Amino acid sequence: MFVARRMKKTIVTVPPSASLLEAQGRMRGYNIRQVPVVSEDGTLLGIVSDRDIRAAVLPAGLVPGFTAEEAEKFMKSTPVERVMTRKVITATLNDTLEDAIVLLHDFRVNALPVVDAAGKIAGIITRTDVLEAFIEALGVGEVSSRLEVVVPDRPGTLAQLAAIIGSFHVNITSVLTTRHVEEGKRANFFRVATLNIGPIRKAIEEGGFEILDPTRLTFP
Amino acid sequence: MRRLAWVYHPDYLLHSPPFEHPESPERLVAITEHLERAGLIPRMVPVTPDYPEDADVLSVHDREYLNKVEDACRRGDLTLDSEDTYLNRHSYNIALLSAGGAIAGAKAVAEGTVDRAFCAVRPPGHHAGRGVGMGFCLLNNTAIAARYLQSRHGVGKVLIVDWDVHHGNGTQNIFLEDPTVFFFSIHEHPTFLYPGTGRRWETGKGKGEGTTLNAPMAPGAGDAEYRATFEQMLEPAMERFRPEIVLISAGFDAHRDDPLADIQLTEEGFRFMTRHVNELADRFCGGKVVSILEGGYETLSLTSCIEIHVRELLGE
């Protein structure tokens, strides 16, 4: 899946000459935490976050006698280009969602402006968009039951499990497979669209697989 | 001793699965036989339900949905959308009669001919939404009874306690934005169990914000955890909301022997829940309690828990 499918295409931006006050107003108005700074032709110049603005105003606040009016004056007279981050971590239209997840994680940023080949802004993808993709992929909120099966780490086991579930004429709405704590084993998570999970659990166990019993989970 | 209505209709057995299925007529056969053997049937006031008025069913469900179920039954469809929710030729009528059972129990309590009611109805109802049946449910019996009480008996505020082990998603959705019906559901956590809703931050919407309350329980939770949750969540909610009547969506599948879920209640858990709701109803709404059967699929625990439930409702 590509970033282009998940990014927001209507983007709130500010010009480099916009004041900190204007930028803050936009962020509050749209309930966002950062805005890309773009030139008139849409070229990405930087990004400014609510944190950047707070950090810029804070030192002035330490000056004795600095009042709220003065703070506002400072925010009105300071252009965002003076506080924006110029080395922006971006995604490109050809990046995949995996690329975006790794970038967001490794660079510890909240949002990636997405730029086209000419360096012009085409969209923005945030941690929230990525979480939304995960919620969908995990099938959270879809009417379903969950199964957690531990299998030996060898080819064909997922197909066997899917066949067992399929024999009950039940749809699988989500599949996730991860390494298990035990060496040589994998944990498979299924969401299946049925209330009647008992017979499926039983058939899977009779097929020689281990169903994780959620009652044996330990809570700290 | 309280006067307890026993709402039952022999036709409830006509809705029967065309393939192996846990929600079968044998559940009710086992319940009636067990209560008979325990000598409890003669101690209750028998109430034979009738088919409900259209308007009462339409107060909850869309006309198009009712037509869809009726047509599917007439055509001889074996299922409604998925194999969870089976149909036979009688299913639509029996679903209506099941809703009629909840109404009959509500009526008897509202009119004061009895103090409390136990409605041994099926098919169950709490997963059914306005325009959708699922999870063994066709019509939302409890929701229809709540609306009936409001429209026919001038009841303002109704509180529903849903202790079926599965979240009552249908009932929640029907009353999500309604401040006059308080929905409290205690169920196995949605990460582990069908239908996957009923998280703690689902608390209602719009005008109904604050009149939905969910208590998702970790797999393995038992009598002690349930007891604490009722005391910490339901009691203050009832005190704040001040209902005029309490309806119970009474499922018995949170018992440790039930094969469909992972909650570990014993008979004592069901005794506590029934007694606690009775006490709260005595305190806040003149003792009016209408209990409506939902799930419960393991015969021995189902029948023994219902015996205890009935004894508590009788106030032995």
The overall longest dimension of chain A from CA atoms, in Å, is: 77
Residues of A with CB below 8 A from B264's CB?
215
Is residue A55 within 8 angstroms of chain B, CB to CB?
Answer: no
Verify whether the Cβ–Cβ distance A139 to B192 is below 8 Å.
Answer: no
Per-residue pLDDT at A214: 79
Work out the number of other CB atoms within 10 angstroms of the CB of residue A188: 20
What pLDDT does residue A220 have? 47
Q: How many Cβ pairs closer than 8 A exist between chain A and B?
A: 68
Which of B68 and A55 is assigned the larger pLDDT? Answer: B68
DSSP code, position A170? -
Going by C-alpha positions, the residue among B10, B25, B34, B21 that lies closest to residue B305 is: B34
Instruction: Among B191, B194, B202, pick the best mutation site for testing chain A contact (most A Cβ within 10 A).
Output: B194
Residue B42's CB is within 10 A of a number of other CB atoms, namely 9
Query: What distance in Å separates the CA atoms of residue B286 and residue B242, rounded to the nearest whole number?
Result: 11
Note whether B312 and B268 are within 8 A (CB): no
Task: Compute the C-alpha angle B16/B18/B305, nearest 5°.
Answer: 40
Q: Place A1 in a pLDDT band, splitting at 50, 70 and 90.
A: confident
Q: What are phi and psi of B16, to 5 degrees?
A: -130, 145
The ipTM value here is 0.81
Neighbour tally for A130: CB within 10 Å? 18
Q: Is residue A218 pLDDT above 70, yes or no?
A: no
DSSP secondary structure code for residue A79 in this structure: B
* Percent above pLDDT 70 for chain A: 97
* Angle between helix B25-37 and helix B299-314 axes, rounded to 10 deg: 50
Helices then strands, counting H and E runs in chain B, come out as: 10, 10
Per-window interface: B 109-148 vs A, CB < 8 A: 127, 134-136
Q: Provide the greatest CA pair distance for chain B.
A: 50
Interchain proximity B194–A214, CB inside 8 Å? no
Q: Which domains does chain A have, with CATH numbers?
A: 3-135 (3.10.580.10), 145-212 (3.30.70.260)
pTM: 0.91
Number of CB atoms found within 10 A of residue A83's CB: 18
| Cis-peptide into B190, omega within 30 deg | no
In degrees, to the nearest 5, what angle opens at C-alpha A129 toward C-alphas A124 and A132? 165
Strands B45-47 and B4-7, bridge-based pairing: parallel
Q: Which residues of chain B have pLDDT under 50?
A: none
What is the Cα–Cα distance from B148 to B102, expressed in whole angstroms?
Answer: 10
Model confidence over B70-80: pLDDT tens digits? 999 999 999 99
pLDDT at A63 over 80: no
Do residue B169 and residue A196 have CB atoms under 8 angstroms apart? no
Q: How many angstroms separate the CA atoms of B224 and B237, rounded?
A: 20
Looking at CA atoms only, how far is residue A218 from chain B in angstroms?
10
**Complete DSSP assignment for B28-44:** HHHHHHHHHHTT-GGGS
Q: Do A89 and A127 form a contact (C-beta atoms < 8 A)?
A: no
Cα-based torsion angle of the residue sequence A163, A167, A168, A173 in order, rounded to the nearest 10 degrees: 30
